[in-house]
Structure 1
Amino acid sequence: MRIGAGAGFAGDRIEPAIELVEQGNLDFLVFECLAERTIALAQNARRSDPDGGFDPMLLERMRRVLPAARARGVRIVTNAGAANPLGAAHAVAALARSIGLGPMRIAAVLGDDVLDTIRSEAFPLIDREGTSADLPPIISANAYLGAGSIAEGLAGGADIVITGRVGDPALFVGPLINAFGWSLDDPELMGRATMIGHLLECAGQLTGGYFADAGHKQVPDLARLGFPLAEVSADASAIFSKVQGSGGRLSLASCKEQLLYEILDPGAYHQADVVADFRSVRLAEVGTDRIAASGGGGTARPDALKVSIGYDDGFIGEGQISYAGPGAVDRARLAIAVVRERLALIGANIDELRCDLIGVDAVDRTGLGPPPREVRVRVCGRAACEKDAACIGAEVEALYTNGPFGGGGATRSVRPVVAVASTLIPRERVRPHLVMVEG
C-alpha cells in the first residue's frame, strides 16, 4: 500500500501534494494540518461563524487536489476539520458537486470535543501545577483520538475522511488498518504503524525541509521540495521515498531526526492506540532517496487520553521600529528605555514586557560579535485589557518624533492570546463516532 504526506501543517504548500497524487501512484493521501493551538483558534473562529471552524485552506487544497485524486482512486484523510469536522465535510461535498466530481462519500469523525466534560470538574494539568478549574475562561477542550474511527470510515466506503483532533500518526495508521485488516488490539503492529505515521506526519521535514542547514547539511532544490510517501507491507515494514525529480533529500540522517522529533521517550511514545517503542527501529538506505524502515513495537494503549485545553489569556501588544547607521544599537537601547518609562508614566497595566533588539539579542544572548549597523527594536507585552496592550505599539510608534533620531518602519499590533494547557481524561469518557455525508 502506498500512502503520501500531503501537508505537515496548516499553511503548508499545496503543489507537493498535487505532485504526489499525479506521480506517486498512491492509494491514500494525508493532510496533517493541526498544531496544539490550531484547534483552539478554530474554536474561537467558530464563535463568530458557527458554520466555520475548519482549516481555512481546506477547500483550496481540495479544489486543487480532488480532480487528480478522483481520477486515480486516491482516498484522502485529513484532520483539517479542526473545530468543525462535520461542517468541513458538508463544505467539501458542496465543493465536489460544484466542480462536477460526481457522487462522493465523506466521513466526519466526531467526539474529540470534550469541552462539557472538562468544564464539569477539575482535571489535574500535566504541563503545570493546578487543575483545569484554575484556568482563565476556557474556549475549547479536545481529546486526541486514535485511528479506529478513521479506519471505520474508510471501511464504510469513504472517499475522504475528515477529523478534528486525533494523534498525528493516527491519520496514517487508520488507512493502514483499512488496507491490511490489522487489529487495534495488536500493540506490535500498532507500534510499527505509529512509527510509519510519525515519520510521515510532518511531510517536508522528512525530505529535508526542516533538516536543511546551509554549509552543514546540504539539501538540493529546496524551492521545489517534494513530500514523502511510504510503500508499506503487511508486516508494517516500509520504504520511504519521494517523487523522482522532486526537490529535497530523503536520507538516513533526515529520517533519524524525524524519528526522534517530539517523542520524549523513544521507548514509550504515548498515543491513543498504543504506547509505541521505537528503540528497535532499523533504517537502511536502499537507493537514492529511498530509506527502508523496519522493527519497532509497543505495549497496550493507555487508559487515558490527552486533552488540549484552549483558553483566553489576555492580549499581546507589540511595537517595532528600526535604527541604522553609526550608533544604531545605542539609539535602539535608548528607544527601549524611553518606551519602558513611558509605559510606567501613563500607568499601562502590563503583566509581562519583553524588549529585544532583533539582530543583537532577540535570540542569541551571548553578546559575541561586532555590533550591527542596523537593528530593529521589538517591544512586546501581555495585558489582561486590550486597551493596555495597545499602549505598547502606540508608544513605540511615538518614537518617530519623540525618541532617538533616525527611527523608521514602525509597526504596531494587538492580538488576543489563545493559550493551551494539557490534561488527561479516562478513555471511557470520550466517545468517537462517524457521520457520513454524501457528496
Structure 2
Amino acid sequence: MTKKTIRIGCGSGYAEDNLDPAIELAKKADLDYLCFDSLAERTLSMAQMRKLNDPNTGYDIRLEQLARTFLPYVDKGLKIIGNMGAANPDAAIRRVQEIAEELNLTNIRLAAITGDDVLDQIKEKDPIILETGKPLSELNGTIVSANAYVGADAIVEALENGANFIIGGRLADPSLFLGPMIYEFGWAEEDWERKGKGIIIGHLLECGTHVTGGNYADPPYRVVPGLDRLGLPYAVVEESGDGVISILDDAGGIMTVDTCKSQLVYEVHDPENYITPDGIADLKNVTVKQVGKNDVLVENGTGKPRPKKLKVLVGVLEGYIGEGEMSYAGPGAYERALLSQDTLKKRFDRLYKDHSLEIRYDIIGVNSIHGASAPTPSEPPYEVRLRSAMRTETKEIADAWAHEVELLYLLGAAGGGGNRRSVKQVLAMYSAFLDASDVKLTVSMIEEVLK
C-alpha cells in the first residue's frame, strides 16, 4: 500500500550550508526524508581537485560532521539522501560506515550510487563543448573528469533495496526529492504529469533557504525577518504530486507566495521546459496559494518525457592562477589605484605577456563584477581594492605575478596596504551532452562497496 502523503525536508542548499536548521527539521518536522543538495559546478570541481591529490577523498568536506549529526536520526527511522559523494561516492559511503560503527548504530543501511563518472565515455564520443562550439578533443589542457547529471531512478532502486542513507555523485538537485516520491507513491515510469509536479516540488526545496527568504531580501522593498536564523523548507507532498511547502513556526525567515515564485523561476530558462534527467517540468500553469502563515500550496504543474541526452560537466586542468590584491584609502584612493594598475599593466607587457594565457585587472567596489560595463564613479570612492589575476601554464609564473602585486608596496602609488596573494591550480568546468543510454548507474549497498 502506497502512502497518501510524505514529508520531505531540505537539509542543505549547497556544500557548506549551515547544518543547524537541518537539525531543527530532523527534531521537529516529523520528516520521512531529509535530502542534502551539496553540489554545484564550483563545488564539484573542488571535489575533483581533492580527489586528484588524494584518491581516498573527493567527497563533501563536511561529510563527517553530517554523518555524526544525522546518523542517530536515521537509526530511529529518518531516511537521508544526498549528492555529498561528489567525486567519490564509494569513499564517502565507506567513511559513513566507519562513523556508524563508532556510534554503535545498528539500523543503518547504506547505499552508494556510482556511474555518473563518464570520463571514458566522453573521451570516446568526443562531443561538442557548449562553451566553445568545438569538439572536446580540441580543448586546451588536460581532461581529468566528466560527471553526468543523473536522475532519481537509482535513488528509487536504493530505497527498494532497503537503504536509509543514500549517497551519490552528481545526482541532479530536484532528483534528490523526486526519488522518495516515486518510491513511496509508486508512480509509473511514464507518469510524466506527476513526475513533473514532483520535479517542481524538488526545485522549490533544492536551494534551501532561497525559498525561505535568503537571496530574496532587498530592503526596503522586500523585508525578511530573522535572516540570522533562517529556517530550511520542507514539503508535505500528496500522491498527486501537489504539495505544501513550509517552514517551522519558530524558524527565521518567511514562506510566502512571493518567495515561492522567486524560487520557481530561479535558474529556469524556459518555464514550459525545465529540463532534468527525470523529465521535463512545465511550470506554465503552476499556482501558489498561501494556506497558512508559513505554508504555501503548490498545484497544477505538469511534465513531459525525460530528455534523451544528459548534461555532462567536464573538468579540464588549465594551468595556474596567480592573484594579488592591494588596498588604497583616503583622498585620491581611486586615482592611486588606477596608477598602480597602470604600473602592473606596463610590467605585464614587458615581462609576462608571452607567458600569459589570460589576464585581468579589477578595482573592487567599482568594476570587479560588471567590468567595462560599470560606470565611472561620479563620486570618487573613499577606499578601493586593486586586484589582478593571471592564468598561466606554470606555478612558478603564477607565483611571480602574485608577487608583482605585492611589489606595489614599493613600485605603486602611495598608501597601498593590506596585500593578499595566492596561487592555485585551475580546474575549468565545461558543458557537453551525452546520450542517456551511455550512462550506466550502479547502486551498491555497503556490503558490496566493501568487497
Band of TM-score, shorter chain: over 0.9
Mapped partners of 2:119, 2:157: distance in 1: 24
- Cα distance, 1:168 vs structure 2: 0.9
Matched residue, 1:363: 369
* Preserved contact between residue 54 and residue 85 of structure 1 (Cα < 8 Å): yes
Matched residue, 1:189: 194
Matched residue, 1:379: 388
Matched residue, 2:316: 311
Matched residue, 2:24: 19
Instruction: Select 2:421's aligned residue among 399, 412, 435.
Output: 412
Does 2:115 match 1:111? Answer: yes
* Preserved contact between residue 146 and residue 170 of structure 1 (Cα < 8 Å): yes
Structure 2 length as normaliser, TM-score? 0.94
Mapped partners of 1:410, 1:368: distance in 2: 24
- Cα distance, 1:69 vs structure 2: 4.1
Matched residue, 1:435: 444
Instruction: Select 1:48's aligned residue among 44, 49, 53.
Output: 53
Q: Deviations over 1:160-201 (max 9, x none)?
A: 110101211000000111111112321111111100100100
Instruction: Select 2:134's aligned residue among 114, 130, 135.
Output: 130
Mapped partners of 1:43, 1:379: distance in 2: 26
Q: Deviations over 1:132-160 (max 9, x none)?
A: 11122111111111101101111211111
* Preserved contact between residue 111 and residue 166 of structure 2 (Cα < 8 Å): yes
Q: Percent identity?
A: 41
* Preserved contact between residue 74 and residue 107 of structure 2 (Cα < 8 Å): no
Does 2:165 match 1:160? Answer: yes
DSSP 3-state at the match of 1:6: strand
Q: Deviations over 1:63-112 (max 9, x none)?
A: 122223433x1100000001111111111011111122224111111111
Instruction: Select 2:430's aligned residue among 398, 421, 426.
Output: 421
DSSP 3-state at the match of 1:95: helix
Q: Deviations over 1:296-350 (max 9, x none)?
A: 1111111111111111122211110111111111111111111111222323522
**CA separation of 1:103 and 1:2: change in aligned 2, threshold 3 A:** closer
* Preserved contact between residue 147 and residue 273 of structure 1 (Cα < 8 Å): yes
Mapped partners of 1:143, 1:327: distance in 2: 51
> Gaps (5+ residues) in structure 1?
none
**CA separation of 1:347 and 1:363: change in aligned 2, threshold 3 A:** closer
* Preserved contact between residue 44 and residue 139 of structure 1 (Cα < 8 Å): no
Instruction: Select 1:57's aligned residue among 59, 62, 74.
Output: 62
* Preserved contact between residue 317 and residue 415 of structure 1 (Cα < 8 Å): yes
Paired residue type of 2:138: D
Structure 1 length as normaliser, TM-score? 0.97
Matched residue, 1:339: 344
Mapped partners of 1:344, 1:160: distance in 2: 55
Q: Give the aligned CA root-mean-square deviation in angstroms.
A: 1.5
Q: Deviations over 1:217-254 (max 9, x none)?
A: 11101110100000001001100001111111111111
Mapped partners of 1:359, 1:372: distance in 2: 8
Mapped partners of 1:257, 1:127: distance in 2: 27
Matched residue, 2:9: 4
Q: Deviations over 1:252-305 (max 9, x none)?
A: 111111111112111111111111111111100111111000111111111111
Mapped partners of 1:122, 1:340: distance in 2: 38
Paired residue type of 2:375: T
- Cα distance, 1:387 vs structure 2: 2.0
Instruction: Select 1:211's aligned residue among 213, 216, 235.
Output: 216
- Counterpart mapping for 1:181-260 below 5 A: 181-260=186-265
* Preserved contact between residue 127 and residue 136 of structure 2 (Cα < 8 Å): yes
* Preserved contact between residue 350 and residue 389 of structure 1 (Cα < 8 Å): no
Mapped partners of 1:173, 1:165: distance in 2: 15
Instruction: Select 1:399's aligned residue among 398, 408, 429.
Output: 408
* Preserved contact between residue 312 and residue 433 of structure 2 (Cα < 8 Å): yes
DSSP 3-state at the match of 1:33: coil
- Cα distance, 1:128 vs structure 2: 2.9
- Counterpart mapping for 1:165-176 below 5 A: 165-176=170-181
Does 2:273 match 1:264? Answer: no
Structure 1 stretches of 4+ moved >6 Å: none
> Gaps (5+ residues) in structure 2?
1-5
- Cα distance, 1:368 vs structure 2: 4.1
Paired residue type of 2:395: E
Aligned residue pairs, count:
438
Mapped partners of 1:160, 1:69: distance in 2: 7
Matched residue, 1:84: 88
Q: Deviations over 1:369-400 (max 9, x none)?
A: 41111111111222222222222221111111
Mapped partners of 2:57, 2:170: distance in 1: 16
